[in-house]
Amino acid sequence: MRYVKWTFLAVIAIAIFLFFNYTLPDRDVVRIVETEVRRVDFGENSVFWAQPDVGAGASGGSRDVRFINAVAENGAIRVYRNEDTGWGWPPYFKLDSSNLQTEAADLVSTSANPQWVVITHYGWRAEIFSAFPNAVAVRAVDTPDVRLIPYFNIGLIVVLLGVVFWLWRVWDRFRQARIEPIVDNITIAIDNADERADNFRERLLSRFRKKK
Amino acid sequence: MIAALRLFALLFVVLTLIYLVLSFLLRQTAQREARETWEALDTRIDWETYLERQMKSYNRAMRRRLIFGVYILPTAFLAAIVYFVNFA
């Protein structure tokens, strides 16, 4: 039974970790190779795609999506999409994807003369689903060796942990004030019933023992 | 436009719920602390009068702080996100 409980808690912990790993922003240092617009038909991977441009009409099953193709310093390929998240989820309120696309196109460079940029993004690159991270911002840097400390992520997680801890305290106080007395009463009642049953059994058996 | 209005309506509902729950919990804490102070003071004022007096000033201060913290602060945070993502 213990395995069930711990497995359940582990699954929940993993789910929470995956949620934050997908939704929180991350930064890569890359060299932009090109920017393009591709037609995408959404199938079973539609959960990995965001909105059509803010204010535009509904997109149905397919849409033109802007892409930013980039290469990391170690040669790894990084492909980002560049979609509005609008007023929906995740709450980046990204309304300026066309502007971002222009900024990215302005920073295109070759491997002979690289221009390194820091791309802030969220989401996963999952080739198996054709899922792409969504680029949120792009910023030029001089060298690829920049120290990127995720202040926002750290602050957000600390605040969330504080909220969770406060809620746990509230629940614990409520439990001690209201629920524990009831549970204690039930335990006492069960103990009393046990004692009475034991006494009854003793009296019964002693009668039989005397007769022998 | 509609999507933005939907978001603000949902936000308003959620923030109101948070406001109600938070005001209830904080009032409980204040009442409990008032009780402890009253028992420690051991005055002739009876509990009901003492509680009423303490709660009056508390409610006024708390309502202002709560409205600021629950409604204004998250909206300002949201506006900051819109600014930093799109215009900075």
Please check whether residues A105 and A49 belong to one and the same domain. Answer: yes
Q: Which residues from A are below 8 Å from B1, CB to CB?
A: 55
- Nearest-CA distance from A149 to chain B in Å? 17
How many other CB atoms are there within 10 angstroms of residue A22's CB atom? Answer: 15
Maximum C-alpha span of chain A: 107
Residue A212 reports pLDDT greater than 70: no
Q: Is A156 on the interface with B (CB under 8 A)?
A: no
Please check whether residues A90 and A189 belong to one and the same domain. Answer: no
Please check whether residues A35 and A117 belong to one and the same domain. Answer: yes
Q: Give the residue from chain B lying closest to A25, CA to CA.
A: B85
Total number of domains constituting chain A? 2
Please check whether residues A122 and A172 belong to one and the same domain. Answer: no
Task: Mark yes or no for CB contact B85/A91 under 8 Å.
Answer: no
**Rounded Cα gap, residues A205 and B5, in angstroms:** 78
Please check whether residues A139 and A170 belong to one and the same domain. Answer: no
Task: At A92, list the tokens.
Answer: 């980046």
Q: Is A54 on the interface with B (CB under 8 A)?
A: yes
| Residue among B1, B25, B82 whose CB faces A93 most closely | B82
Total number of domains constituting chain B? 1
Q: Which residues from A are below 8 Å from B87, CB to CB?
A: 96
Task: Mark yes or no for CB contact B3/A88 under 8 Å.
Answer: yes
Q: What is the pLDDT of residue A56?
A: 82
Chain A interface test: which of B29, B86, B87 (most A C-beta within 10 Å): B86
Helices (H), strands (E): how many in chain A?
A: 4, 5
pLDDT digits (tens, 9 = 90+) for A43-63: 888 888 888 888 888 777 889
Asked whether A136 and A118 are in contact (CB, 8 A), the reply is no
Of A124, A148, A172, the position where a domain reaches its end is A148
Q: Which residues from A are below 8 Å from B14, CB to CB?
A: none
Please check whether residues A67 and A141 belong to one and the same domain. Answer: yes
pLDDT digits (tens, 9 = 90+) for B1-48: 888 899 999 999 999 999 999 999 899 888 888 888 888 887 788 888
Domain presence at residue A18:
no
Residue A173 reports pLDDT greater than 90: no
- Nearest-CA distance from A193 to chain B in Å? 37
Angle (deg, nearest 10), helices B2-41 and B47-67: 150
Domain presence at residue A138:
yes
Domain presence at residue A19:
no
Q: What is the CATH number of the domain that holds A79?
A: 2.40.50
Domain presence at residue A8:
no
Please check whether residues A84 and A178 belong to one and the same domain. Answer: no
Task: Mark yes or no for CB contact A93/B85 under 8 Å.
Answer: yes
pLDDT digits (tens, 9 = 90+) for A97-138: 999 999 999 999 999 999 999 999 999 999 999 999 999 999
Please check whether residues A103 and A174 belong to one and the same domain. Answer: no
Asked whether A47 and A15 are in contact (CB, 8 A), the reply is no
Residue A145 reports pLDDT greater than 80: yes
* pLDDT bracket for residue A181 (50, 70, 90): confident
Domain presence at residue A6:
no
Domain presence at residue A3:
no
Please check whether residues A134 and A165 belong to one and the same domain. Answer: no
Domain presence at residue A20:
no
Domain presence at residue A206:
yes
**Rounded Cα gap, residues A56 and A87, in angstroms:** 13
Q: Which residues from B are below 8 Å from A87, CB to CB?
A: 3-4, 6-7
Q: What is the pLDDT of residue B45?
A: 80
What mean pLDDT, rounded, does chain A reach? Answer: 91
Of A98, A123, A148, the position where a domain reaches its end is A148
Look up the domain containing B49 and give its range: 2-86
Quickly tell me which residue has 């060298």 as its tokens: A143
Of A99, A130, A148, the position where a domain reaches its end is A148
pLDDT digits (tens, 9 = 90+) for A11-40: 999 999 999 999 999 999 999 999 999 999
**Which is more confidently placed, A183 or A93?**
A93
Look up the domain containing A140 and give its range: 25-148
Please check whether residues A39 and A133 belong to one and the same domain. Answer: yes
Task: Mark yes or no for CB contact B78/A91 under 8 Å.
Answer: yes
